[in-house]
Structure 1
Amino acid sequence: MPRTADHDQRRELMAQAFQRLLAAEGLAQVTFARVAAEAGISVGLIQHYFANKAALLRFSYEHCLRRIDARIAAHVDAGEAAHAPISTMLLSCLHELLPVDAERTVEFRVERSLWTSACHDPALAQIARHASLDTHRRVARAIDNGKRCGEVESGIDTDAAAALILATTRGLADTLALGIAAKPDDLLRPVLATVFTGRCRHHDA
């Protein structure tokens, strides 16, 4: 077990160094030598784990997704423990997709780099499609749960509503990434309010 943990820690160390450099300077400027210097390890050690920069990019993106998933799960757990409305929990989760602090800005730039590279790399395109569909399913599940508890009207088109919420969130992320001032809740709350129009029946129980 310790040996496996060491391998995981090494991969994470490399991924985080790669992510920091990518976020600061762009994918074209990142080399194994620079990642090694940033991480305080040898180039040979990186090559032992990753055949090329594309492999490291794929792992780094998946590493970002795992971090985001963990934070979203924490929001859901906290919201359920507090008996918060689904719309409130969803708003908290959407914040994890926005570049509003140093960690999430790095993740945003890694994700955008993958999307750009995916136009010419089928393997990256598959990861990008899977991530996009998974995010859509998460939001759609929240909407369907809202229907069951009374927060969402039963006639709402779940997929269309999820697409609207995510399109707004993605556009807001782009705006924030360019340094244009915006208050996330001022934009996200009205969009959520068009979908989550009711009150959770559990609050009236």
Structure 2
Amino acid sequence: MSLDYIISISKPMLEGAQATILLFLVAIIVSIPLGFVMTLAVRSSIKPIAWLAHTYIYVMRGTPLLLQLLFICFGLPMIPVIGEYMVLDRFVAASLGFILNYTAYFAEIFRGGLLAIDKGQYEASQVLGLNKWQTTTRVILPQMFRIALPAVANESVTLVKDTALLYAVAVPEILHFAQTAVNRDFTIIPFFVAGVIYLIMTLILTLLFKWMERKFKFE
């Protein structure tokens, strides 16, 4: 295939990449803070809150993301009485599904980060006269973030690849345009081009997190 052909099929796929990038940004910006809140809920001394948080995490991690997306996009509108009010824009519905799913995964990552902190850190903070808020913000959270950063990076790369599931709920993205070109031109070249685009995005993200790991390691 000629370079002109590759350029011609790359243009719509790059347009589709905008949906991929937007979904990634929305999901990562919202689900990371929510994941931390969910971690606090799991560790809550109020039993009903802790139980609900554990149940939420179990359900979201125990069922396929694709199933969750299909339920939100096509299942919610079928609920009797309230279904007509649950019809969402496909991209909005997909964003909601990704946020709910990745919140559970980030919650487990942050929980693991907190559990990895030595109890002596809490005792040392008390000896230094730090109150609970100061201990949490100045001692515990910075260490938790450094511990959890590699796992957060790995989950973020997975998120980029999972955005291909937009194809299943009819949101035009990279894979949608690649499949259209394959069906039209009877060649697998568009799949390779799509793969290269995903590799470039994940490479940029990987380099960003590597830089963050080096920065926080030496600070």
TM-score by length of 1: 0.30
Query: Hey, which of these two has a bigger chunk of helix by percent?
Result: 2
TM-score relative to the length of structure 2: 0.29
